[in-house]
Structures are given as structure tokens and as C-alpha cells.
Amino acid sequence: MGTVYDEITLKNVGDIFRAEDGHIKESEIRETTIQVVADTGADTLIINETVRQALGLRIKGNRMAYLANGNGDNCQITEPVEVHWKDRSMTCQPWLMPNAPEILLGAIPLEDMDIMVDCNRQCLVGVHGDKQIGRAL
């Protein structure tokens, strides 16, 4: 299949709320646009320390994660981020792997934004074309 890369923008959700409440300017919302690997084997969004610092995310907890090689590793969970891909978005709490060489966009954010990996074209596409559809059940 090969590795599929795409670009997403991450925004600090706490900053978004502070801007909505008038405590900071909209221009002060911390965000970063990054290249990610679409990884359907990962559950969620996996970020590294560089991204965590750029967004000013605090650590909120820990979870055991099992890697592709079967080894377990303790991951920290950060404050939520808004994930944006083209005209789609969702909110999640990233898992922090401090030295991760690549940022992984896992199955839950892909599913939530109604995105799939097109193996033939080696890119991300909307499952239902240009229309984002969610499931309530």
C-alpha cells in the first residue's frame, strides 16, 4: 500500500475557548500546520514534543499504548486539539510520544472526519465525496 502523507492543521482548544470569551485575540490561538502519516493501525492522533510545545498543550493523564512491534509504552495524554483537514474538523486529545519522528493521524480522527485512505491514489479522500457525514449510532 505504501505510506500516505497529508497536511492537517491543529489548534489549541483551550485557546479557542479563551478567544470566544474575549480573553485573547483570535490571532493568539496557537496552531500549527503539519505533515502527518495516515495510520489506520493507530487509534488516535499521535504527536511529538515539538508539536506539543508549539501548541502549548498541558499533560492531562497517561495511557498504556501498544506499538506495532507489540511492545507496550506509557503515553501521556494532552489537552484537546481541533484537527482540521481541508473543510473538515474534529476534536480529540492527542497521545504524546515525545520522540516520535512522524505525527500519526489514526483511525478515530479519520473516521470522525469521514476520511479514508485511497490506496490506489495514495492520498486521503472524503468517504462520501465532498460532504462530511457522521454517524449517530
| pLDDT tens digits, one per residue of 103-114 | 999 999 999 999
SS3 category, 49: helix
Conformation bin of residue 82: beta by default, left when phi > 0, alpha when psi is -120 to 50: beta
Q: Is the pTM of this model over 0.85?
A: yes
pLDDT per residue as tens digits for the range 71-87: 777 889 999 999 999 99
CA 10/CA 103 separation, integer angstroms: 11
In sequence order, what E strands does 13-122 have? 31-38, 45-47, 59-66, 72-78, 81-85, 88-92, 95-96, 103-105, 115-118
Mean pLDDT score across all residues of the chain: 91
If we measure between CA atoms, which residue out of 121, 133, 87, 102 comes closest to residue 38? Answer: 102
9, 33 contact by CB (below 8 A): yes
pLDDT tens profile 36-79: 999 998 999 999 999 999 999 999 999 887 776 777 778 899 99
